Amino acid sequence: MLLKLLKVALLLITSAVGIYGTTHEFKKEGNLTHAGRLAVVGLLICGLLAIALQFVEFNKEEQVANVAKRELDSSTARQNATLEQTNRANKALAHVVGDVDRSLHQITSVAVSFRIDVATNSPRMKAYVNRVQRGAQQAAVQLQNKKTTPDWLGWSKDQDHVVGVNFPAQSPLGPQKTEQFARAVFGPLEMYFQFYRTPIDPISREATFSLPDLSFSVFAGTISHDSLHPDTIEYDMESGQFRLEFDHVAADPKSWNGNGKIVAVPDLEGAQMFVTLRSFGSLDDSAANKDLRKLQKAAAINTTLILHITGGRDCYIDMMQRLESSDLVYVFVFPKGEDFRRLVR
């Protein structure tokens, strides 16, 4: 209201001074007349009114700006509060979903599928290796001549050329009771699994013997007609490499140990896994046993290791890092996010 009054007063005074100036003479002989002095007073009043008007406008603009700032601050605070509430709700929902996911995907059993390259570069293995070579070559000839081969014998081809054979440990091509050294090479083994929810330094693990959050053992490889055995012994005719292939070998329930940090599949996200391969084959002869230990330490996990987890979840693990250790130790860190979900199918 005051701003409007000042504007009207300024307009009236300015108009009055202008009209007054057309009807009166402001100077006479170089001096202000009475009318001139009145005009000067009027102009001074107009100037003061203009200054007051500008001050009022500045003050009003400042008030408007302050009000707008307060409204903006209030709106921002409300938005931040809403966002914080939303974040808390999302975290609570994620926690609930995580708990539901953990309860639905408990790790109560694990089986493992894997292949192991077996070292045979010892004079004590020569007789057995030669016997398998002859059997493989004979089978290759029979296959090429379209003759019948034993039901227990499998093979792999490169086009029409036989490049490898595979057979059960108890088959005629498997190590026989008289081939004690070969039986020990292909003998019983253990894969010891250790999981850490928060990855640790592999070197400090060996130095301090850090206790894992979850551990279990898989036992396989006993060549016997009444116990566990390799599903398949493979022989590559081109490279001369022997492999043991195991399929869905269950972890020993008695070997399970855990502290509750890893109890479900989601707990494996970002976790660290160590796999230690141990061979239990042994011989009474000390010299032969020394040679056997060399071959056992030269063994290696070949290609992909598959963890078959409770509920049909399969985890295909590649690129495990082999550590420099007195044992055959491998380490793997599970990825996070989408990479983890792609890994655990």
Nearest to 281 by CA among 68, 105, 97, 125: 125
Domain boundary, last residue among 67, 99, 131: 99
Q: Is the pTM value of this prediction over 0.85?
A: no
Specify whether 87 is located in the same domain as 225: no
Which amino acid appears at position 129 of this protein? Answer: V
Which phi and psi (to 5°) does residue 85 adopt? -65, -40
* Per-residue model confidence (pLDDT) at position 63: 76
Give residue-wise pLDDT tens across range 99-134.
555 656 789 899 999 999 999 999 999 999 999 999
Specify whether 92 is located in the same domain as 119: no
Contact predicate 43/37, CB 8 Å: no
Specify whether 248 is located in the same domain as 311: yes
Specify whether 158 is located in the same domain as 245: yes
* Per-residue model confidence (pLDDT) at position 149: 76
* Per-residue model confidence (pLDDT) at position 228: 47
Contact predicate 115/301, CB 8 Å: yes
Domain boundary, last residue among 60, 75, 99: 99
Tokens of 122: 């010892």
- Structural domain for 60, as ranges: 2-99
Task: Tell me which residues of the chain have a pLDDT lower than 50.
Answer: 207, 224-229
Specify whether 331 is located in the same domain as 230: yes
**Cα separations (Å) of 145 from 141, 165, 238?**
6, 16, 20
Domain boundary, last residue among 99, 123, 158: 99
For residue 334, how many other CB atoms are within 10 A of its CB?
19
* Per-residue model confidence (pLDDT) at position 8: 62
Specify whether 72 is located in the same domain as 143: no
Nearest to 195 by CA among 138, 102, 270, 135: 270
Specify whether 91 is located in the same domain as 111: no
Specify whether 41 is located in the same domain as 121: no
Specify the number of domains making up the chain. Answer: 2
